[in-house]
Structure 1
Amino acid sequence: MSDQPNIPAQSQDLPGSEAALQPAAEMIRDGYKGADKLTGKVALVTGADSGIGRSVAIHFAREGADVAVAYLSETDDAQETKRLVEAEGARCHLIAGDLANADTCRATVAETIEVLGGLNILVNNAGTQWVNTDLTTLPDAQWEDTFAANMHSQFYLAKAALAHMTAGDTIINNASVNAYIGPDFLVDYSATKGAIIAFTRSLSNQVVGRGIRVNAVAPGPVWTPLQPATLGAHDPEMVENFGANTPMGRCGQPSELGPCFVFLASRDASFMSGQTLHPNGGIVVNG
């Protein structure tokens, strides 16, 4: 992928549908060859019904991992992710539920272990956002809901997962370039992503002595259903030519994010913990 896709103005309802995305996003590049980097591993990927999470699940499967896919409510998209993961020869288990709820997070980890036999890789990818351009009008409930979905879920899931993790296992948290650039229309979302960066660094320091690595990925604009379901729901014109203002002049594709997560999950990143990767189209964030 090197050219900006022709992205028209569009909108969706939350949580968004991969099947309705125009144009379709690329999940894995033609010619991507697995190298058994995750053979024998079990991964739990949240928000993997679509977007970055689906790409991560497919890449992990091609590298040999079995994958639990946690999602909110988009059953059709989740079933397609399952089909794609199983087409790679991996096992895939779907788990629906609202990860803003602590009990759901604990149950999700427990079900992953019960069905797939363990948990070696936790990818905290699920999240949401809403547009607001004036803090004085930002509803208290929206602030709380954004933190519950984006940040609290990562705490609940990591807390539950760490009780079962041992040396060589890893946690990867999905943050955002917005934690560094602070767009004025996503104050609450950006605040959660900044918290995720700090959470990643501190948790890494807490568990790295056990041989468990914790890292983050901070994507720039990536073409996923979240964009038309949030930016587009506010104003369909906001997603027209989405990402064209990056130094590369285009948005990213999920296929360009999946390999970042493979790297951090594998022994290739054995000397990395508490760090953040920045696949963002050339935006310099100095973070």
Structure 2
Amino acid sequence: MSGGKLDGRVALVTGSSRGIGAGIALRLAADGATVVVHASADSRDADKVAAKIVDAGGTASVVLGDLSTADAPIDIVRETVERHGGIDILVNNAAVSEYHPVPEFDIKRIDFELSLNLRAVLLATGEFARRTESPHGRVINISSAAGKHPAHGRSVYSATKGAMEAFTRSAALELGERGITVNAVAPGTTVTDLFEANERKDPRDWRGLFARWTALRRVAQPDDIADIVAFVASDDARWLTGNTLSADGGLVTTGTNIARYSM
């Protein structure tokens, strides 16, 4: 995988054993990056993603860590640097979205979602900023359309993504003088393993419903999101920082009220 736009660069993608994260890992590797594939505790799916990269001629390794803990977000960045001699790209993708109506709030569930979706992003980005010596450092935070559009039972998740986007702007301001860009990509509904599992549980035509909400009349595949992330990671996006790119197929153009729907 030589001759790509990311040749010689090292990328850590959190939550990249499946779904959007796996798509991002594969695409960055296709563009020449050495990719560190992350999973929480079970390496089997991450090993499969890394094997695909290696089989295609790329370089990949696997790192494990529960990002809801205080140490793991820092440790996986350190381990990336120790293994590969540096780090150029950090993609904060790992997240959880739990159905959690306001009257049913409890502290353990709130803390878990805040820790994984937000605190881990702050800690990993801080360690990246301390460790990177790259002249083209990239931090890419994977947000969500839920950061702007309310969805029933997902208020904690929405709050974490809204906060992530605010952090993206502030971190871009602080790190810009070092040439590090910080941006967010906010996917809409994307067909992942979790989405398909939910489809099997519920006979309603969720895919058709979500497709009607978008200007392009379909739901995203992981590759749709990965291609945008690859652009933001490249030198082509060198003048882009502090932004959130809506990768939702035109959800914002349809004026659809999605607030009462949730899978």
TM-score (norm 1): 0.82
Structure 2 partner of 1:88: 56
Structure 2 partner of 1:164: 131
**1:189-217, Cα deviation, whole Å (9 max, x unpaired):** 00000000001000000110111100000
Deviation of 1:146 after TM superposition, in Å, equals 0.7
Structure 2 partner of 1:151: 118
Deviation of 1:69 after TM superposition, in Å, equals 0.9
- Kindly, what percent of the aligned residue pairs are identical? 33
Structure 2 partner of 1:260: 228
Q: 1: distance between equivalents of 2:205 and 2:127? A: 36
Deviation of 1:239 after TM superposition, in Å, equals 7.4
Structure 2 partner of 1:194: 162
Query: Retained in 2: the 8 A contact 1:165–1:212?
Result: no
- State the AA in 1 paired with 2:27: H
Q: 1: distance between equivalents of 2:151 and 2:179? A: 36
Q: After the TM superposition, which residues 14-29 of structure 1 pair with which residues of structure 2 at under 5 Å, given as runs?
A: none
The question of 1:282 aligning with 2:250 is answered yes
Task: Name structure 2 gaps, 5 residues minimum.
Answer: 254-263
> Highest relative contact order (Cα 8 Å, sep 6+), 1 or 2?
1
Which segments of structure 1 move beyond 6 Å, counting only runs of 4 or more?
A: none
Deviation of 1:59 after TM superposition, in Å, equals 0.7
Q: 2: distance between equivalents of 1:238 and 1:194? A: 29
Match of 2:21 among 47, 53, 78: 53
Match of 2:213 among 246, 250, 256: 246
- State the AA in 1 paired with 2:52: L
Q: 2: distance between equivalents of 1:137 and 1:263? A: 40
The question of 1:135 aligning with 2:99 is answered no
Deviation of 1:63 after TM superposition, in Å, equals 0.6
Match of 1:236 among 202, 212, 215: 202
Task: Name structure 1 gaps, 5 residues minimum.
Answer: 1-32
Query: Retained in 1: the 8 A contact 2:19–2:222?
Result: yes
Query: Retained in 1: the 8 A contact 2:144–2:161?
Result: yes
Deviation of 1:228 after TM superposition, in Å, equals 5.3
Query: Retained in 1: the 8 A contact 2:9–2:33?
Result: yes
Query: Retained in 1: the 8 A contact 2:102–2:153?
Result: no
Query: Retained in 2: the 8 A contact 1:61–1:89?
Result: no
Deviation of 1:147 after TM superposition, in Å, equals 0.7
Query: Retained in 1: the 8 A contact 2:183–2:242?
Result: yes
Q: After the TM superposition, which residues 110-121 of structure 1 pair with which residues of structure 2 at under 5 Å, given as runs?
A: 110-121=78-89
Deviation of 1:61 after TM superposition, in Å, equals 0.8
- State the AA in 2 paired with 1:136: P
Query: Retained in 1: the 8 A contact 2:43–2:62?
Result: no
Q: 2: distance between equivalents of 1:91 and 1:49? A: 16
Q: 2: distance between equivalents of 1:249 and 1:185? A: 25
Query: Secondary structure of the equivalent of 2:165?
Result: helix
Query: Secondary structure of the equivalent of 1:90?
Result: coil
Query: Secondary structure of the equivalent of 1:200?
Result: helix
Q: Name the CA shift for 1:239/1:213 in 2 (closer, same or farther; >3 Å).
A: farther
Q: 1: distance between equivalents of 2:212 and 2:70? A: 38
> How many residues align structurally?
251
Deviation of 1:227 after TM superposition, in Å, equals 3.1
Q: 2: distance between equivalents of 1:107 and 1:239? A: 42
Query: Secondary structure of the equivalent of 1:102?
Result: coil
Q: Name the CA shift for 1:37/1:239 in 2 (closer, same or farther; >3 Å).
A: farther
Comparing both structures, which one devotes a greater share of its residues to helix? 2
The range that moved more, 214-223 or 239-248, is: 239-248
The question of 1:175 aligning with 2:143 is answered yes
